Each structure stands twice: as structure tokens, then as C-alpha cells.
Amino acid sequence: MSTHTLEIQGVGRSFRSGQGGELIQALRNINLTVHPSEIVSIVGPSGCGKSTLLRMVAGFDQPSEGEILLDKKRIFDPGADRGIVFQTPQLYPWLNVFDNVIFGPKKRGVSKESYVSDAERYIASVGLKGFEHHYPYQLSGGMRQRLQIARVLINEPAILLMDEPFGALDYQTRLDMQRLLLELCERYRPTVLFITHDIEEAVFISDRIHVMGARPGRVLESLQVDLPRPRIYEEVAASEAFMRMKLRVLNLLRH
């Protein structure tokens, strides 16, 4: 059960276009909170700055205004307390599945007994049991994404940051991955910040959705998703509540 809270307070980010060019505001006054064990999605059109926001939470970039706090502490740089899952799996191609998963804890000096049993557990929980000795090039796109998730979960991060993680997968695999994510969330109860442009995906997995608009990137509206859990896709997707929520987000994005 996660006890970690992420707070984004009055965050803005501006870039200068080229040398001495005009200042472009990519993000303006973003305020949002992700409560412990909550799954929060940010939905928006491409170019609305949702990935920029996530990269600032990861510590890859700094806000121009405002601050980002994890458990009341300001974020300055990347760290193992925030596990990031990229759209393009960033795996070590020279290491097999098992070695990819233990890479983080091993380098951080965690004891071997502890990370070996953790690795077995997380590999099994993402459905890669039996593939420990396979290399990334021998895995399908969906399996690579499973591996990336296991590699992050083993660090037991305070928050899971997911940057359109299933955006490059085919429809069927994407559904499988969404189901897997909900399953993992039921089991480990992590705090999750999820970026996507897929409205159905956001509605299906989230407790809350922040809908963003572009130029400048800002939060248009924050919606509570009151669909009961555990959610089973075939039931949820056919429900009226799901449809209503989907249409609401769609309408917000139309303007």
C-alpha cells in the first residue's frame, strides 16, 4: 500500500525558441495532486505539454515556475523513488530479462538474496515467467513493455510515472496491458501518474482524469471516475457511466 503523495503546485514551463527567440509557454499554472495509491491520468492532444510535465516529475527537467513535491519534498533530479515507463521501452539490449530486472537494485547495492527473490516475483507478476533468459530482441513489443514495468516495480518506487506506455502497441496487446496494469495496481497499490492521448484507456484505468488543452498547456478540467473496481473491460466498456465519461472528455478536448 503506497503512502506517497505527489503535489504539482503552480507549475509552468517556458522554452525559448532558438537563440534569442521569443519565449514560448509550454505549460501554465498546473495544479494537481496524486493521492496515495491513486491512478491519475493526464489526457490531452499532442503538444499540450503532458510529457513535459511528466519529465519534470521524473526530474529530467525543471519547472520555470512553481514546484513539484513528492511527500512534501521538492524534486530536483531523477531518482529511484520515481519509476518511469517510457513509450519506447528503454531496455539494456545486452542483458537478458532477469539481468534487466535486477539491474537497478544490483547497482544500488541491494543484497543479492533480496533482489533475486524480488526479481522472480515481479517477473512472474508481469507474466514473463519462463522468459528470464531471453534477450529484449527476442521479445514482442508487449513483452518488452512488461519487462520495463517489472524493472521499475522492483525498485518499489513511491510513484509510477507512465508516459503513453501502451501507445505504440496494437489494440489487442494494449487491452492486455491495461488489464495487467490494473491487476498490478490491485496487488501492489502503487501511486500512478499516467500520460495518454487515448480517452478510453484513461477512463478505464483511472480514479481521476485531468484533461489538458494546448497553447499554452493547461488543465481544462479534472474529472472523478466513479466506476467500481475491480474493473473488467467487457463490463465497464459497455456501461453507460463509461460512455458518459468518455463523451465528457471528448467534448472537453473538442474545444
> What residues line the site for other proteins (CB under 8 A)?
58-60, 77-80, 82-84, 86, 88-94, 103-104, 107-108, 135-137, 141, 144, 151-152, 155
- Smallest gap from Cβ 43 to other proteins, in A, equals 22
Pick from 144, 115, 116, 113: which is nearest to 131 by CA? 144
In this structure, what are the phi and psi dihedrals at residue 167, rounded to the nearest 5 degrees? -65, -25
State how far the Cα of 92 lies from the Cα of 90, in Å rounded to an integer: 7
In this structure, what are the phi and psi dihedrals at residue 15, rounded to the nearest 5 degrees? -120, 150
State how far the Cα of 222 lies from the Cα of 20, in Å rounded to an integer: 36
Q: Tell me whether residue 75 or residue 180 sits nearer to other proteins (CB atom).
A: 75
- Smallest gap from Cβ 223 to other proteins, in A, equals 29
Q: Tell me whether residue 87 or residue 196 sits nearer to other proteins (CB atom).
A: 87
Strands 218-224 and 208-213: antiparallel
Q: Tell me whether residue 100 or residue 125 sits nearer to other proteins (CB atom).
A: 100
Taking every pair of Cα atoms in the chain, the longest distance, rounded to a whole number of angstroms, is 55
State how far the Cα of 155 lies from the Cα of 106, in Å rounded to an integer: 10
- Smallest gap from Cβ 93 to other proteins, in A, equals 4
- Smallest gap from Cβ 141 to other proteins, in A, equals 8
- Smallest gap from Cβ 230 to other proteins, in A, equals 29
Q: Tell me whether residue 73 or residue 107 sits nearer to other proteins (CB atom).
A: 107
- Smallest gap from Cβ 61 to other proteins, in A, equals 10
In this structure, what are the phi and psi dihedrals at residue 159, rounded to the nearest 5 degrees? -145, 145
Q: Tell me whether residue 165 or residue 207 sits nearer to other proteins (CB atom).
A: 165
Q: Tell me whether residue 91 or residue 249 sits nearer to other proteins (CB atom).
A: 91
- Smallest gap from Cβ 126 to other proteins, in A, equals 16
Q: Tell me whether residue 12 or residue 89 sits nearer to other proteins (CB atom).
A: 89
CA 232, 122, 111: angle at the middle one, nearest 5? 155
Pick from 184, 47, 43: which is nearest to 125 by CA? 184
Q: Note whether 148 and 85 are within 8 A (CB).
A: yes
State how far the Cα of 44 lies from the Cα of 143, in Å rounded to an integer: 27
Strands 218-224 and 6-16: unpaired
